[in-house]
């Protein structure tokens, strides 16, 4: 049931070669319960991993790494408008997106090609190209580590926010998500207003549909983002900061070309990638760590970088952004 002292390089997309003291995988709640009843579990700290695509290990992990492999995609309810689908937390997220668009179901097509597992999708409320997973989640099943009982969190109880939820905050390392129920819609949403989706569909000579939008998003992402199989990374390293209007207007005087998105009367979101690129850090490299040449928000491991090397560059970026704009940017990646 437990492996000892193994490298988890292949279990994190930064490809950091660190060792964990214990490692165990589970493919159902029965196996998970067994692990939680073991003395190894009781004597060690532990962390659950899906695809390892949003996590940075900065040291060897002196505890138990639990790899979630719970499988299964099952329709549990259907009417004229919607299909409710129960999905195991270990299912690959993009596999589920493909499953959905193959059936012409809508709701998650703009989230195509996001790496990782279904179980981690509610943790930071994954989002891209004008869609967030919170809008398709009905409920989340999670195993409470302390009392070893299953809890059901209805959508409202998950406290979903921008790249955030109760699972990333109050319940961090206290629960293990085992399955998620999604409500997908039969009438296509066809949200193509964000980014280059409309123009990519034109290039592909395709009309909007869940499947075609997923294809367009996949093409755009493949062009823009480094493939973690080839170049270690965790996607966006930082969240986009949200500023009060007064602060934004002051900044705009200094940087008239600042890219921004008005999200409410008094709140303006600034792409952290723009802030980093504008101070000339895009393409910066030190040793085996760098800021990606095409995407200033992505920190990459060119080979043998350690987690500490990556953290050092991330901290340097944070300091430079603070000095230049008086803005504190927060990591999106979970730093361990």
Ligand X SMILES: Cc1cc2nc3c(=O)[nH]c(=O)nc-3n(C[C@H](O)[C@H](O)[C@H](O)COP(=O)(O)OP(=O)(O)OC[C@H]3O[C@@H](n4cnc5c(N)ncnc54)[C@H](O)[C@@H]3O)c2cc1C
Give residues in contact with ligand X (CB under 6 A): 13, 47-55, 68, 89, 114-117, 119-121, 123-124, 126-128, 167, 175-177, 225, 228, 233-235, 334
Minimum separation from the CB atom of position 124 to ligand X (A): 5
Minimum separation from the CB atom of position 148 to ligand X (A): 15
What token pair was written down for 173? Answer: 């390392």
Q: Please classify residue 57 by burial: count the beta carbons closer than 10 Å to its beta carbon, then call 0-12 exposed, 13-18 middle and 19+ buried.
A: buried
Alpha carbon distance 99, 154 (integer Å) = 23
Residues with a known catalytic role? 163, 236, 332
What token pair was written down for 3? Answer: 């492996």
User: In the complex with ligand X, which residue's Cβ is closer, 35 or 251?
Assistant: 35
Q: Where are the alpha helices (DSSP H) in 236-288?
A: 245-254, 272-278
Alpha carbon distance 290, 283 (integer Å) = 7
Minimum separation from the CB atom of position 259 to ligand X (A): 17
Backbone angles phi, psi at 39, to 5 degrees: -70, -30
Burial of 276-309, coded b for 16+ CB within 10 Å and e otherwise, reads: bbbbebbebeeeebbbbeebbbbbbbeeebbbeb
User: In the complex with ligand X, which residue's Cβ is closer, 12 or 306?
Assistant: 12
Minimum separation from the CB atom of position 121 to ligand X (A): 5
User: In the complex with ligand X, which residue's Cβ is closer, 55 or 214?
Assistant: 55
User: In the complex with ligand X, which residue's Cβ is closer, 194 or 322?
Assistant: 194
């Amino acid at each position: 049931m437990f492996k000892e002292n193994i490298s988890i390089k292949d279990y994190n997309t930064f490809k950091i070669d660190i060792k964990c003291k214990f490692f165990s995988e589970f493919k159902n709640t029965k196996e998970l319960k067994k692990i939680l009843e073991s003395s190894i579990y009781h004597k060690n700290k532990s962390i659950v991993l899906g695809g390892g695509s949003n996590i940075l290990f900065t040291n060897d992990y002196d505890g138990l790494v639990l790899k979630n492999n719970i499988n299964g995609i099952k329709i549990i309810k259907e009417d004229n408008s919607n299909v409710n689908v129960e999905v195991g937390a270990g299912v690959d997220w993009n596999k589920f997106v493909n499953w959905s668009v193959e059936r012409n179901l809508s709701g998650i097509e703009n989230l195509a090609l996001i790496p990782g597992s279904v179980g981690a999708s509610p943790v930071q409320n994954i989002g891209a190209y004008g869609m967030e997973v919170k809008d398709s989640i009905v409920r989340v099943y999670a195993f409470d580590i302390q009392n070893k009982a299953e809890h059901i969190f209805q959508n409202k109880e998950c406290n979903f926010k921008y790249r955030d939820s109760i699972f990333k905050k109050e319940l961090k390392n206290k629960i293990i998500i085992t399955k998620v129920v999604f409500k997908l819609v039969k009438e296509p949403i066809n949200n193509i207003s964000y980014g280059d989706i409309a123009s990519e569909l034109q290039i592909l000579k395709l009309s909007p549909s869940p499947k075609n939008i997923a294809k367009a998003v996949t093409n755009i992402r493949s062009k823009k983002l480094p493939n973690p199989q080839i170049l270690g990374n965790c996607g966006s390293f930082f969240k986009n900061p949200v500023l009060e209007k007064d602060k934004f207007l002051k900044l705009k005087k200094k940087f008239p070309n600042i890219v921004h998105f008005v999200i409410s009367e008094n709140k303006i979101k600034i792409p952290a990638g723009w802030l980093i690129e504008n101070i000339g850090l895009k393409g910066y490299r030190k040793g085996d760590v760098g800021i990606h040449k095409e995407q200033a928000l992505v920190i990459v491991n060119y080979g043998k970088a350690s987690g500490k090397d990556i953290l050092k560059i991330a901290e340097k970026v944070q300091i430079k952004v603070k000095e230049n704009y008086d803005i504190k940017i927060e990591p999106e990646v979970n730093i361990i």
